[in-house]
Amino acid sequence: MQTRRFFNEELQKLKLDVEELAEDTKVVLGTAVDALYNSDLTTAENIIANDYVYNEKEQRINDAAMIMIAKQQPVASDLRRLIIAIKISTDLERMADHGKNIAKATLFLGDDHPISIHPSIKEMMKIAIEMVDIAIKGYHLEDISFARLLAQKDDQVDNLYGQVTKDLLELTATNPDQIQYIMQTAYTSRYIERFADHITNIGESILYLVKGVSYDLNE
Amino acid sequence: MPKLDKRTINEQEYDKPNMKKRESKEIRTESSEFNTTETLMNLKNLSVYYADNQAVKNIDMPIEKNKVTAFIGPSGCGKSTLLRTINRMNDQISVARYEGEINYDGLNILRKEVDVVTLRKEIGMVFQEPNPFPKPIKQNITHALKFMKKPKNEIEEIVESSLKQAALWEETKDRLNNSALSLSGGQQQRLCIARALALKPKVLLLDEPTSALDPISSAKVEDLIMELKKHYTIAVVTHNMEQAARISDNTAFMYNGDLIEFGETSRLFTNPREKRTEDYISGKFS
């Protein structure tokens, strides 16, 4: 006989809310990077204007988890599910912020800047979005077999970030008059690298959720 | 991506270079100077039978000194039987018999020649319902002491110290000659604890000590238990999971006479090793 049916339903609803916020971050990042390449200022402005939505979703997840902790006094894996929902939603909100930061960089660059955006930034974005997909699947299934893959993908993003930074640094030497624009694109690659780091944090959270032990995927 | 059973994962799978375990993974809920792990008592292959019914099955576990050990489990799992065995209360049940050992102070206390009166001075017990004697408060403490022929001045000291230790002195010092039955339920239970402490035991056994009390009285008894463990070793049977989590250092989960899991409370309530433990403490037991 299954007991605590209502609590289990609330936990499931919370999980779906977290997954929805994760899907949102994919859209924000993908749209922000596309807007960067297309100098689409309208889309960039919309991304910035809509950032409050993700903040509110994070807050709702945190509030729901807090209420369940207070009312249901969960222990063991149920307690970990709630703590992890709070932690993951914080990471997701920060990821959406990084999408917003890319949109701000797009606005700074304007629609007639003289530089071409480094092609590896798009590549970084694609890998970061793949990482979100992997993490969501792992979270949904409470499956930890994804963890290694997530760490490998994060390394790929880090390597691309290193390459982009190096290339842009060389570009500043030959184009000192464009340094402010080049710096904006460098920031953009940094935002995606941070975005991916947050997904790695989420991977660690899922490992903790399933195993009850903390792991470091960044080492 | 294949789904893995989270309970059959090989630990080594996660010790890859880029998945390093964090060092500070152990959860400690306290850092007091009483955080020792000296074993005071050892249960060794302990079984308890009521006639042909084996109520406690081949249990091995330590009771650590100056720690609170909680016994949890569904009704009829054998936890109260086990607690009562520790000070031989089951001797009063004619069909009860033991196998195995409880080693305490170099002695198997289940041996027939052990004097149970002396044993119960060392290992005191408090029950679910407060059961003060229908006598003045003071006499509840002095009754056993007089029987033991303690000198009068010593008895006076013990009355005060026991009531102080039970956090009841301030509430009763001006009415020691009033009937114990005039006290509230929570005060009566603390008086029963004071009565047990008067014999200067080393171990206190508490069988659902707060189940008949209101939340405020329960909280006072819980605070008292936390205070008393500085000087005593405490074993408590409770149906209240939150209480076990709050007050105990170690928890033993019993089911159907078996010890399913025993370990540090902070670990057992956050990451139990056994699915039955997890289901029980999460309220999902079927």
ipTM of the assembly? 0.71
B20/A219 touch (CB, cutoff 8 Å), yes or no: yes
What angle do helix axes A76-109 and A41-49 make, rounded to 10 degrees? 140
Q: Do the Cβ atoms of B2 and A142 come within 8 Å?
A: no
Mean per-residue pLDDT of chain B:
87
| pLDDT value of residue B181 | 96
Asked if the C-beta of B281 comes within 8 angstroms of chain A's C-beta atoms, the answer is yes
How many Cβ atoms from other residues are within 10 Å of residue A147's Cβ? Answer: 26
DSSP E strands in chain A: the ranges are 215-216
Interface touch A216/B22, C-beta < 8 Å: yes
> Rg for chain B (alpha carbons), in Å?
21
Question: Does A155 touch chain B if contact means CB atoms closer than 8 Å?
Answer: yes
Task: Pick B21's closest partner by Cβ from A152, A155, A215.
Answer: A215
DSSP state of B279: H
Q: Which residue has the higher pLDDT, B235 or B9?
A: B235
A157 contacts in B (CB within 8 Å)?
Answer: none
CB contact under 8 A, B1 and A211: no
Identity of the residue in B1, B9, B271 whose CB atom sits nearest the CB atom of A76: B271
Name residue B124's beta-bridge partners.
Answer: B204
Distance between CA atoms of residues A1 and B115, nearest Å: 47
Contact B6 A76 (CB under 8 A): no
Q: Residue B254 pairs with which residues in a beta bridge?
A: B259
Secondary element (H or E) of residue B258 = strand B258-264
Per-residue pLDDT, B15? 42
Does A188 fall in a domain?
yes
Q: Residue A214: which of B2, B25, B282 has the nearest Cβ?
A: B25
- With beta carbons less than 8 A apart as the criterion, state whether A21 and A65 touch: no
Looking at this protein, which amino acid is placed at residue B35? N
Tell whether A216 is covered by a domain.
no
* pLDDT one-digit tens code per residue, B83-107: 999 999 999 899 999 999 999 988 9
- Closest residue of B to A74, CA-based? B282
pLDDT confidence bin for B3, thresholds 50/70/90 = very low
Task: Give the CA angle between residues B161, B162, B167 to the nearest 5°.
Answer: 95
Res. B12 pLDDT band, cuts 50 70 90: very low
Is the confidence at residue B5, as pLDDT, over 50?
A: no
Task: Locate B37 and state its tokens.
Answer: 């792990």
In angstroms, the separation between the Cα of residue A76 and the nearest Cα of chain B is 4
Query: What confidence score (pLDDT) does residue A28 get?
Result: 98
- CB contact B242 to A (< 8 Å): yes
Q: How far apart are CA A47 and CA B90, in angstroms?
A: 73
- Which of A150-159, A204-213, B15-24, B189-198 comes out lowest in average pLDDT? B15-24
Interchain proximity A219–B18, CB inside 8 Å: yes
Q: Quick check: A215 contacting B, CB < 8 Å? A: yes
List the domain range (segments joined by +) for residue A98: 7-211
Q: Which candidate in A75, A79, A80 is best for mutational testing of the B interface (most B CBs within 10 A)? A: A75
Find the CATH number of the domain harbouring A44: 1.20.58.220
Q: Give me the torsion for CA of A166, A170, A173, A176, rounded to 10°.
A: -80
H helix or E strand, kind and range, residue B264: strand B258-264
Domain-wise residue ranges, chain B = 65-79+116-281
The tens-digit pLDDT sequence of chain A (219 residues) is 456 788 899 999 999 999 999 999 999 999 999 999 999 999 999 999 999 999 999 999 999 999 999 888 899 999 999 999 999 999 999 999 999 999 999 999 999 888 899 999 999 999 999 999 999 999 999 999 988 899 999 999 999 999 999 999 999 999 989 999 999 999 999 999 999 999 999 999 999 999 988 888 876
| pLDDT at residue A112, as a whole number | 87
Q: Mutate one of B284, B285, B286 to test the A interface: name it (highest A CB count within 10 A).
A: B284
A148 in contact with chain B, both atoms CB, cutoff 8 A: yes
User: A–B: how many Cβ contacts below 8 A?
Assistant: 93
* Residue A219 placed within a domain: no
Mean pLDDT of B51-75: 96
The per-residue pLDDT for B29 is: 39
Query: What distance in Å separates residue B252's CA from the closest CA in chain A?
Result: 15
Give the pLDDT of residue B22.
63
Question: Are B20 and A215 in contact (CB < 8 Å)?
Answer: yes
CA angle A102, A105, A111 (to 5 degrees): 120
Give the minimum alpha-carbon distance from A122 to chain B in angstroms, rounded to a whole number: 26
Q: How many CB atoms lie within 10 A of CB B178?
A: 13
Whether the CB of A70 is below 8 Å from some CB of chain B: the reply is no
Task: Say yes or no: domain B65-79+116-281 is CATH 3.40.47.10.
Answer: no
Helix (H) or strand (E) holding A84: helix A76-109
Q: What is the CA radius of gyration of chain A?
A: 19
**CA gap A125, A105 in Å, rounded:** 15
Total Cβ atoms within 10 A of residue B134 = 10
- A218 part of a folded domain: no
Contact A144 B20 (CB under 8 A): no
Q: Measured between CB atoms, does B261 come within 8 Å of chain A?
A: no
How many domains is chain A built from?
1
